[in-house]
């Protein structure tokens, strides 16, 4: 078992970070009911851990008996029958899914699943808990139509199910949806908290973690605790005992994006754009999310750019990141961003007499 799962807090009492949030949620559970809830915050902050602790507090250990299945959904539309497949994680008390995986059909999936849950209440619990919980991941990636449908069904079936939503960017969630939820901000852990967790895990695993190397891990993970724990475990496998000069091992996709950034800065031409397009396709084919590609590519480009072009590059990244959310073909917007960056860099080099 990965350390990030092995040492994940199971109850609110065991939380090292977000202890105040845990205490408030614990009080909410003791009332016998809780509203629709929206957890938002950066990746690796602990949103999923809080949700699982919340489910255990409501339903007990039975919620841990889960099954993973890919279920085909047949949805009757006025003009046709829609068939989609979606992987879900479920127990007798809750259902977890990522509706954005089905693309533009997400609005039908959300409504159909909530209706299905409303017809099947959980058994073996008292009247105050006679509802199921639907956990929706990446709500900020849902289409506007799906969020509008979610708004209506949240009210219609509120007596039969509760919806717990998770997202990274709350600004991409519609105001009507947010207003119907208890919004819980899960902030990224501080560097001191991350050092404390890494030291605790190292103690549990009977390994020695030098403070200098631990600080390097914290800096590399950018306050993403999940990433820090995964990096610690990978470094333990590759080289132990740890050395003060040791660097965290970067995943292959990060190194590949760094190579793409180097290609962009080395040459700005149609031929180079064609080669970069093929590499972007390869990343997408290996299931690297396009938003993550865009963000990491921007970070790598900024490392290699002169200050004069950084502001315009960031502005263009924001434009194409928004188009990425609204469009259907990620490769179009990623390639357009690369072409725009090449144009910015080329114009700057010509103006400076470097090209």
Three-state secondary-structure class, residue 177:
helix
Listed in sequence order, the DSSP H helices in the chain are: 3-6, 19-30, 47-59, 106-119, 144-156, 175-179, 191-204, 211-221, 225-238, 252-266, 270-285, 290-304, 307-326, 330-351
CA 46 – CA 40 distance, rounded (Å): 10
- What is residue 89's predicted lDDT score, i.e. its pLDDT? 84
Whether a cis peptide bond, with omega within 30° of 0, leads into 241 is yes
- Where residue 339 falls among pLDDT bands split at 50, 70, 90? very high
Q: What would the pLDDT profile of 213-264 be if each residue is shown by its tens digit?
A: 888 889 988 888 888 999 888 888 888 888 878 888 888 899 999 999 999 9
- What is residue 315's predicted lDDT score, i.e. its pLDDT? 92
Which CA distances in Å does 196 have to 27, 176, 189, 211? 26, 39, 11, 11
Q: What would the pLDDT profile of 17-62 be if each residue is shown by its tens digit?
A: 888 888 888 888 887 677 888 999 988 888 988 988 888 888 888 8
Question: Are 129 and 54 a contacting pair, CB within 8 Å?
Answer: no
- What is residue 126's predicted lDDT score, i.e. its pLDDT? 47
Question: Are 109 and 99 a contacting pair, CB within 8 Å?
Answer: yes
Average pLDDT for 161-189: 88
Three-state secondary-structure class, residue 287:
coil
- What is residue 340's predicted lDDT score, i.e. its pLDDT? 93
């Amino acid at each position: 078992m990965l350390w990030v799962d092995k040492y994940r807090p199971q109850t609110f009492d065991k939380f090292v970070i977000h202890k105040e949030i845990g205490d408030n949620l614990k009080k909410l559970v003791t009332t016998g009911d809780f509203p629709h809830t929206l957890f938002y915050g950066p990746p690796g902050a602990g949103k999923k851990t809080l949700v699982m602790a919340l489910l255990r507090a409501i339903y007990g250990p039975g919620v841990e008996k889960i099954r993973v299945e890919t279920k085909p959904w047949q949805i009757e539309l006025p003009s046709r029958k829609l068939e989609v497949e979606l992987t879900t994680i479920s127990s007798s008390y809750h259902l977890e899914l990522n509706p954005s995986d089905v693309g533009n059909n997400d609005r039908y999936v959300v409504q159909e699943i909530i209706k299905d849950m409303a017809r099947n209440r959980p058994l073996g619990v008292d009247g105050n808990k006679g509802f199921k919980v639907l956990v929706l991941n990446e709500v900020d990636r849902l289409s506007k139509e799906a969020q509008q449908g979610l708004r209506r069904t949240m009210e219609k079936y509120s007596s039969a199910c509760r919806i717990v939503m998770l997202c990274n960017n709350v600004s991409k969630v519609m105001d009507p949806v947010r207003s119907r939820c208890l919004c819980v901000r899960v902030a990224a852990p501080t560097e001191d908290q991350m050092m404390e967790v890494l030291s605790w895990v190292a103690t549990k695993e009977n390994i020695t973690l030098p403070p200098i190397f631990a600080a390097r891990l914290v800096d590399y993970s950018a306050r993403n605790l999940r990433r820090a724990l995964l990096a610690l475990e990978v470094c333990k496998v590759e080289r132990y005992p740890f050395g003060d000069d040791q660097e965290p091992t970067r995943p292959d996709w990060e190194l590949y994006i760094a190579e793409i950034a180097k290609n962009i800065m080395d040459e700005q031409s149609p031929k180079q754009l064609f080669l970069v397009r093929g590499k972007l396709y390869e990343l997408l084919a290996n299931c690297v999310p396009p938003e993550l590609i865009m963000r990491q590519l921007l970070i790598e480009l900024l490392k290699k750019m002169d200050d004069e072009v950084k502001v315009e590059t960031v502005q263009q990244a924001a434009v194409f990141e928004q188009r990425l959310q609204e469009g259907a073909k990620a490769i179009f917007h990623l390639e357009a961003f690369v072409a725009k960056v090449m144009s910015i860099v080329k114009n700057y080099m010509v103006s400076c007499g470097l090209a």
